[in-house]
Structure 1
Amino acid sequence: MFLALRELKHAKLRYFLVALIMVLIAWLVLFVSGLAKGLSSDNASSIQKMNADYLVIQKEADNRLNRSILSENKLQDIQTYSKNQSSAPLGIQMTTFTKKGSSKQIDATFFALNVNGFLAPDVVEGHMINNTTTNEVVADNSLKEDGVKLGDTIKDQTSGKTFKIIGFTKRQSFSHAPVIHMNFKEWAAIHKLPGNKPLLFNVAALKTSKDTAQQIDKNVPGIDVIDKSQALKGIPGYQEEQGSLIMMIAFLFVIAAFVLAVFFYVITIQKINQFGVLKAIGAKSGYLARNIISQVLLLTVVSLVISIALTYGVAFVLPSSMPFDLTPQLVVACSCLFLIVSVIGSLLSLYRVAKIDAIEAIGRAS
């Protein structure tokens, strides 16, 4: 480390430029990673945060929750094989509504559920509806950006029914639309079903073991039991959106490895004579290799600290409408991966140092 620090102090401009490139690459990696996670949450946070292990859908639905239709008879069959009341029906419907006194149309998703069951979301403002509530719903607080406030009345454009918002949830979205939760009574009302007609749902959520889920999948005909990761892939555009961003992040890590390899290899070539002299006076290849690794790790750590600070600084001034979510776990994962990539990028330099012949290097210097 002594030699590494002395060299960094001696060639400040050279290593400053290398560090600057590393800062910019790490900053871009962190920003795109935060954007990918933010878009993922904006697209499917209601499924990601759902207190369920598996979802039961219609066999022909191709993992698309809103394409699935399950009758009450089918739900009863599912309940027969589930244990401890661990299954719950869920209705999903994309819709458009207007706020009273405004003509602006806003997209949303209705979720119909048992508000006393395990699928009920947490309310962060106002209060929760109950199973007998009429004309009242709770909505995701992202609707505040569209001017919707607690106590406002909204009108569903499909059914023409009006609802009063009595509570707000947090981070409840589906297919990039805020989720509005309602009870089964209002679910029947928006579908204009008479009281004696059985309800149709889209999904049955299971909070149970893998064995029980497999038993349901095996014994109930016409259904598929999928986990939440499969359900996420079935949301329109989710897999394509995340795939594109993950590919960008992967390419950025590859680019970082190549850039660091080139920079440090060129610097190593420029110091061949000095390395030869050090080897001639007894320095081992391992000592010189540790010197290079120390430089790489020190520059990487400093660059990462600056990049993380820049990313959180930019995230602080981003508009709330922009989906961006950079969690500490994501920062740690990206940082560790960047450190690994940096070390991999220095391997070419380590190989070159190991192959240096002291006599040849000294002779070239003279």
Structure 2
Amino acid sequence: MFLALRELKHSKMRYVLIGGIMMLIAWLVFLLSGLANGLATDNGSSLKNMKADAIVFQSEVKLYLHRSLLPMSKLDEVKGVQGVTNAAPLGMLTVTTKDSDGTESIDATMLAIQPESFLAPKVIEGQALAANSGQEAVVDKTFKRHGVKLGDELKIQSSDQTVKVIGFTTGQTYNHLPVIFTNIPFWQKIRFAAPGSDSGIQNPISAIAVQSQQDGITDMLNQKLSGVETVTRDVALQNLPGYKEEMGTITMMLAFLFVIAAFVLAVFFYVLTLQKSNQFGVLKALGASTSYLAKNLLGQIFLLSLVSIVVGAGLTYLVAAVMPGEVPFALDNGVVVVYSVILLIVSMLGAMISLRRIAKIDALQAIGKVE
């Protein structure tokens, strides 16, 4: 590391520019990872945070909650399957609401639950839903950005119903929309207001959330029950409309960034190695081994990459602190660490071309003694 540190100190501007490029690449990687995690959270945090192991959908609806309809009687059938420790009904509807002043429209996802079930959200302000809650709701704190306060009434457009906000929760979004938690009867009144919209199903619900500690409970439910398709909560999350497409696009962008980082660093350090061929030749003539020179080059790249990645990560956390709440951005510390390690590995791999060049340098040719 002696030579590496001496050179970094001597050619500050050269290595500041290289480190700056590496820092920008790392910064972009971390920003994209935060955006990917934010989009995933914004799309299905209600499913992700749901205390359920599996979800029972109507069969042949592609696991789309908005298309699934099951009779409430199916709940007793689910509870009767061996291995099921608990089950709760779930209703879903996308709605547009008007604030109490009627001046602003707020798109939202209405999730209907039994207030005493394990699907009830944790309330951070106000009070939770009760069994006799009627036209009351607990809403995600995102509604506060629109000026909604406790006690406000939200008008459900396309119906004559209103819902009173009695509590706020957090981390509850579905299809990139804040969630309104209400009771099953009120949801049914809105969802099936049009004649025939219930498809002739008695006391309909959208799906059933299941808790179980038994392996293979999804297969067991599919075998025991007719007209249903049961999947784990994670599979249901993966099948949210647009979820795979969003994650796939950002994952591809991240992969290209890692490849670009490898090529950029490989080219930079290869060019520098070519420029320093004479110096390396002199050092070899003085007795420096190829392994010694290689260790110094790798140490130089490792130190430069590490500092650049740390600075990039720091800038990302700074951006996250000032990011507007409307932007779906969420940093995962574990992902930041993993991507930092990958960037370090990519940087070291990019140095392999330079190491090959160092190994081929002939001391006499490099110092111009032999043509």
Q: Which residue in 1 is equivalent to 2:272?
A: 267
| TM superposition shift of 1:62 | 0.8
Q: Distance in 1 between matches of 2:359 and 2:70?
A: 67
Task: Map Cα deviations across residues 182-212 of structure 1 (whole Å, 9 max, x no partner).
Answer: 1223233334689xx8421112112223322
Aligned partner of 1:75: which letter?
L
Task: Map Cα deviations across residues 67-118 of structure 1 (whole Å, 9 max, x no partner).
Answer: 1111123332222115354222111111111122213221111111122222
Asked whether 1:223 is paired with 2:228, we answer yes
In structure 1, the residue corresponding to 2:180 is in which secondary structure? Answer: strand
Aligned partner of 1:318: which letter?
M
Aligned partner of 2:325: which letter?
S
Aligned partner of 1:268: which letter?
T
| TM superposition shift of 1:359 | 3.2
Gaps of 5+ in 1: none
The 3 A distance-change label for structure 1 pair 352 and 148 is same
Gaps of 5+ in 2: none
Asked whether 1:206 is paired with 2:210, we answer yes
In structure 2, the residue corresponding to 1:182 is in which secondary structure? Answer: strand
In structure 2, the residue corresponding to 1:363 is in which secondary structure? Answer: coil
Task: Map Cα deviations across residues 293-321 of structure 1 (whole Å, 9 max, x no partner).
Answer: 11111111111121122112222222111
Q: What pairs with 1:87-98 in structure 2 (closer than 5 Å)? A: 87-98=87-98
The 3 A distance-change label for structure 1 pair 300 and 163 is same
Aligned partner of 1:34: which letter?
G
Report if the CA contact (8 A) 1:53-1:206 is conserved.
Answer: yes
Report if the CA contact (8 A) 1:137-1:163 is conserved.
Answer: yes
TM-score, with structure 1 as normaliser: 0.94
Higher helix share: 1
Asked whether 1:190 is paired with 2:190, we answer yes
Q: Which residue in 2 is equivalent to 1:86?
A: 86
In structure 1, the residue corresponding to 2:80 is in which secondary structure? Answer: helix
Q: CA RMSD in A?
A: 2.0
| TM superposition shift of 1:247 | 1.2
Q: Distance in 2 between matches of 1:339 and 1:68?
A: 47
Task: Map Cα deviations across residues 5-47 of structure 1 (whole Å, 9 max, x no partner).
Answer: 0111111111111001011111111111111111111111111
Report if the CA contact (8 A) 2:84-2:210 is conserved.
Answer: no
TM-score, with structure 2 as normaliser: 0.93
The 3 A distance-change label for structure 1 pair 364 and 268 is farther
Q: What pairs with 1:34-183 in structure 2 (closer than 5 Å)? A: 34-83=34-83, 85-183=85-183
In structure 1, the residue corresponding to 2:60 is in which secondary structure? Answer: helix
Q: What pairs with 1:251-290 in structure 2 (closer than 5 Å)? A: 251-290=256-295
Moved runs in structure 1, 4+ residues, more than 6 A? none
Report if the CA contact (8 A) 2:121-2:169 is conserved.
Answer: yes
Q: How many residues align?
A: 364
